[in-house]
Amino acid sequence: MPETMLGANDPVGVLLLNMGGPAAPGEIRPFLTRLFSDPRMLPVPAALRAPLARVIAWRRSPKVAGKYRAIGGGSPVGQESERQAAALGEQLGPLFLVRTLFRYSGPGPDEVLAHLRDRGVRRLVALPAYPQWSGTTSGSSVDHLARSAERLGMTWREVPSYPDGEAFIDALCAGVRPLLHGAEHLLLTAHGLPRRVVEAGDPYAEQVQRTKAALERRLCADMPCSLAFQSRLGPVAWIGPHLDDEIRRLAADGIRRLVVAPVSFACENLETLWDLDREMARLAAACGIESYRRAPAPGCHPRFITQLAGLVREQAVRSGWMPARKIHGVGHVA
């Protein structure tokens, strides 16, 4: 059945998708259990996945809890995502109702979507907060949403990834550029993936390279730049180079003033506040790097929110939910 144009007062629901995180110590083990129960995260037979996820969560919880205690007791992803959603709602205006939806934290999609349906929403734009698409992140989050949307009779569309979107790159540059004075090397870092996932056709690694190329064009005319991947887990092979190995290599090559910039996270999280600010900072100092500075995630930078708002509007137009008007810049509908 063809889509019909929205009425003047028909709202569009916008779901800002992220993985979420435990807000308090008691949520850590349930969060990890849900994470490892995801078949895209733990590709084992279904009969084994649930008990194996519980065992992994039980074994990892104490170590993970210590990391969360060190950064304030819980994940900042929930609060940071809510701030992003509020900023996005202000820019989009009253026709769009923006809510967060987390893959591994509550509330669940049935509850979030039922609330939107009660507000008159029948059409949804799924907006992954992940700049680069992967089946393990954006794909899993959209699948999670789609199952509930189908049960509730709601139509949805997915915003495409934006690895080299102009305003996204503007926001990254704004965080990196003030740190470059006196630096010798810019090290970009992204969340890693098992090599088998990429070899099976996942586009994530290629899209991260697109982000790197866009940043190099803007920032690195006179400074070397490299890319590494963080957060490897388990005995399987992961894409590389690994971040700790790259820091050791740079130090061995004589680099003493390093700027590190995360490029695959929409907001601050355990991997930035612990892995980068604590673990990797200690490693860099131990290797002889004298200056280690880390750029922030895009968060609520106005250019990043502009990127997201433009993509939402463009998707609504392409879906036939809004009148086709002139689209300019980063996808903003005039």
Over the chain (334 residues), what is each successive 10-residue block's mean pLDDT?
Answer: 54 96 93 90 85 93 94 94 98 95 93 95 97 96 94 95 97 96 96 94 98 94 92 87 98 98 97 97 98 98 97 94 57 38
Give the Cα separation of 25 and 28 in Å (integer): 6
Residues 211 and 163: beta-carbon distance below 8 Å:
yes
Give the Cα separation of 228 and 242 in Å (integer): 5
| pLDDT at residue number 39 | 86
- Which residue reads 């990196």 in tokens? 176
| pLDDT at residue number 222 | 78
Residue ranges, comma separated, of all CATH 3.40.50.1400 domains in the chain are 12-21+75-161+302-333, 166-294
pTM for the model stands at 0.91
Classified by CATH at the fold level, domain 12-21+75-161+302-333 comes out as Rossmann fold (3.40.50)
Domain 166-294 has CATH 3.40.190.10: no
Residues 121 and 154: beta-carbon distance below 8 Å:
yes
| pLDDT at residue number 5 | 54
| pLDDT at residue number 69 | 94
Please report, for residues 53, 55, 73, 221, 272, the alpha-carbon distance to residue 58 in angstroms, rounded to integers and kept in the order given.
Answer: 9, 5, 18, 48, 24
Please report, for residues 132, 299, 317, the alpha-carbon distance to residue 186 in angstroms, rounded to integers and kept in the order given.
Answer: 20, 20, 38
| pLDDT at residue number 221 | 77
